[in-house]
């Protein structure tokens, strides 16, 4: 459930960001990453990068492994994720 929720939210943020005038970027962990070639790419997109002119939102996103995926998550500072064995992303 958490993975599906994250992918849908990330895809939505990516599309809405461009509608709001934000530009795509080359930062692979940013919600506005330009080269989204599969749904698994969405797993790595966990925060808004610092190059979009919104310092109050820079490097902020959502936990990739929330305590309760059924609850609404708050926006929080996010560190650059690292991959664990098996390819799963861990923030």
Q: What is the pLDDT of residues 12-59, one digit of tens each?
A: 999 999 999 999 999 999 999 999 999 999 999 999 999 999 999 999
C-alpha 63/C-alpha 45 separation (Å) is 11
Residue spans of the domains in the chain: they are 2-90
pLDDT score, position 67 = 84
**Cα–Cα dist 47/6, whole Å:** 11
Per residue, what are the HEC states of 50-79? HHHCCCCCECEECCCCCCCCCCCCCCEECC
pTM of the entire predicted model: 0.80
CA–centroid distance for 29 within its chain:
6
Phi and psi for 51 in degrees, rounded to 5? -95, 15
């Amino acid at each position: 459930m958490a993975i599906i929720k994250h992918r849908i939210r990330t895809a939505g943020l990516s599309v809405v960001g461009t509608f709001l005038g934000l530009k795509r970027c080359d930062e692979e962990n940013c919600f506005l990453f330009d080269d989204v070639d599969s749904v698994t790419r969405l797993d790595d997109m966990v925060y808004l990068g610092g190059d979009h002119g919104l310092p109050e939102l820079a490097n902020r996103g959502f936990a990739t492994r929330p305590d309760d995926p059924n609850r609404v998550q708050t926006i929080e500072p996010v560190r650059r994720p690292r991959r664990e064995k098996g390819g799963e992303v861990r923030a």
